[in-house]
Chains A and B, each alone.
Chain A
C-alpha cells in the first residue's frame, strides 16, 4: 500500500493551475523528493498532503484512506516548515512538546519525550532557550524534533535546507538521510536544488507548471531524462536539437548529453569553438559553441585545457547520448 497517492489531483487559484491533474504514488518508507523551479506546484502538492490546501479536483489518499476532506489536525503527517514556524512565545522544549500537549499528554511525559527528540537532533540542553536565541541550523533541528516527536507516518519537509549555508546544508543532508533510515518513516521533501534532490532521495519527481514531467530514481532522471526540461533542470545537460541529432545518429529526436560526458579529443563527430572557461576546483567548465548550439563540458583535472577561441573536436561514448521523446 502506498503511503501517499494522488489520483488526478488539481489545485486551481482562480485562473492559475498551481497543480494540474497530478497522479502520484509514494511508497511507505521512501525518501521522496519533489523537485522543480519556483511556481512549479511542488510546494502546493506538499500542502495538499498536509491539508493546508484542498484540491479543486481529484483524490488524495494516505495509507489507502481518502483524506482530501480532512483537516490537517486529523492527518497522520507532520511538517517541517520552510521558515520553521517555531512558536516565539514558547521555549524550545515546549515547542517540541506542543503536539503532545495538544494530545493531552501530561507535563512530565511530554517533556521527557521532547528531551529525547531534542537529543535525537543533537540539541540536548537547549530546551530552556527561546527559539530567538538559536541559530538557523538549530531552529531547523528544533522544527524537525517538533515534527518527529509526533511519530508521524509521513514527514513533510518544505525546502528544509533552503535557509542554511552550504556547509551546514551538506551536514544536514547526511543527518536527514541517516535519520530517515533509522526511523523508517516516509520522508517527502520539496526542493528547487537538484543536487539536494539527487543526493538524498530514493526517488525524485520533477515538476514544471503544475505537472510532474518525470518520476524516477536519481540515476534515471539524471541519465535518462524523458523530456528536455528534465535534462536541463536536473544538472544542466546539454540539449542537442533534433536536426543535429538526426545528422549524428540518424534518429530525429532531441538528445541530452551530460557535460561530464563530453571530451575534447583529437577527432570527433562534432567541431566546436571554445567561448569561455571557468575553474571550479575539481574540474574546469568549458563553454563551447557548435553549429549554433551552446554546449558545456566539464573537464576533469589533468585533461588538456583549450584556450578561448580554439576550435576543438568533441567526442563522447555512444551510450551517453540520451534520446528523448518530447522535443
Chain B
C-alpha cells in the first residue's frame, strides 16, 4: 500500500507538489486572505454614532473620516517614523552585514549570528521596558551625557519641537531609537544574505576598471545588495507601520496607526474606522513594493 503510494508520487511529481502545498495554501487562502477580505469589507461599513451599531451598507463615509486632519496627522507621523526607522536600520545594518558576509569566518561568523539573533530570544516587552529605563531622565544615557559634559547637547535636542520632550523616554526620538533597535536584525539578515551572494570578483572587476571603493559601493555593491535591502525594509517598514506597543510605552502622547487601530476597535468600538486605518499600511506597502520594482530594485534577483 505505502509502496504503491510512494511509486505513484514518484511517477507524478505534480501530484507530490500539490499534496505538499495544499495545507499551507488552504491556510493562507482561508485564514489570511479571508481575514484580509473581511477587513477590507469592514472598512466600507460605517458606524452609527448614536447607537454605536455597525451599519452594513457600503459607504465611503469611513474613509472620509480617515482623511480628517487629526487622522491624517497620525498616518503622516507613522509613515515618517517608519521611513526614518527603515533608513537608519539600513545604514546601521549595511556595515555589519558587510563584515559578516565578507570578512567574518568560523568562530567570528558564529559570534555574528549569535549577536544578531540573541536579542530575538528575549521578550519584546522586556527589551522595550529596558529601553524605558535606559532612556529615562535618571537613566544611563542622561548620566553618560553629563559625565561627558554633553548634557547641553542632549537638553538642546530635547528642547526641540516634535522630536523632543521631557526626557528621551517620552520623546519621538526615544520611540525612534527603540524601533531601530528592535527591528535591526530583520534588516541585517537579508542584507547579509544578499551581500554573501555577490562574488568577490565582481568587486575586483569594478576596481580593475578604475572605480574607487566608494564608486564600487555605489555602482556595483548597492545595486546588487538592493534586493536584500528591500527585503529588510519590508520588515522594518511594515513592522513599524503596524506596531502599537512601542509608541505606547516609549514616546510622546501623539498616536501612531497601530494605536489608532487598537483604540478604534477596542475602546471606541468603531470597527469600520479601525479597518480603514489598517488598510493604510497595506496600501502603503503595496505602493512601496511597486515603486521598488519600478526602480529596478529586483533586477539583480
Contact = CB atoms under 8 A, between A and B. Distances in A.
A72 B208 contact: yes
Contact of B299 (A77, A85, A89): A89
A98 to B, nearest CB: 5
Given A81-B201, A88-B300, A102 B224 contact: no
B202 interface: yes
B207 interface: yes
Contacts of B207: 51-52, 71-73
Interface stretch (B120-128, B212-220, B276-284): B212-220
B238 interface: no
Give the size category of B's interface with A.
20 to 34
Contacts of B209: 73, 78, 98-99, 102, 146-147, 150
B216 to A, nearest CB: 9
A83 interface: yes
B161 to A, nearest CB: 42
B215 A102 contact: yes
A110 to B, nearest CB: 12
Interface string B190-219: 000000000101101111111110010001
Contacts of B201: 81-83, 85
Residue from B202, B205, B206, B224 with most neighbouring chain A CB atoms (10 Å): B205
B269 interface: no
Interface string A50-88: 111000000000000000000111000111011101011
A102 B208 contact: no
Contacts of B211: 73, 98-99, 102
Nearest to A143: B205
A103 interface: yes
B210 A73 contact: yes
A146 B299 CA distance: 21
A88 B208 contact: no
A98 B219 CA distance: 9
B296 interface: yes
A98 B204 contact: no
A199 B202 CA distance: 30
Given A73-B211, A73-B212, A88-B224, A98 B300 contact: no
Interface of A: 50-52, 71-73, 77-79, 81-83, 85, 87-89, 98-99, 101-103, 146-147, 150
